[in-house]
Amino acid sequence: MLERIKNEATYIIETSKTIREIAKQFNVSKSTVHKDLKYRLKSINLELFVEVEKILKKHLAMRHIKGGEATRRKYLKTKRSLI
């Protein structure tokens, strides 16, 4: 488990992938990745935790933009199918 958490942390730092993408890559649930990176990592390696926390905060700040973009694409697709 400790090795997986460190690997997840290194992976997110190197790639800046989302929790979902990391979960798929490591074949674990989103909840597991979230707990690993948000809570368990802090007691394992504080330096990695600080770096990961920066990336997670950036993802959180961009969430509303990604959601709005997905909604826009959805309605464009719906509009095209009606024509």
Tell me the pLDDT tens digit for each residue of 6-46. 999 999 999 999 999 999 999 999 999 999 999 999 999 99
Minimum mean pLDDT range among 5-9, 45-49, 62-66: 62-66
Q: How confident is the model at residue 82 (pLDDT cuts 50, 70, 90)?
A: low
Cut 0.85: pTM above it: no
pLDDT at 78 over 80: no
Domain containing residue 35: 2-82
Distance from the first to the final alpha carbon of the chain: 52
Q: How many domains does the chain have?
A: 1
- Angle formed at CA 15 by CA 14 and CA 19, multiple of 5 degrees: 115
Of residues 54 and 66, more confidence is placed in 54
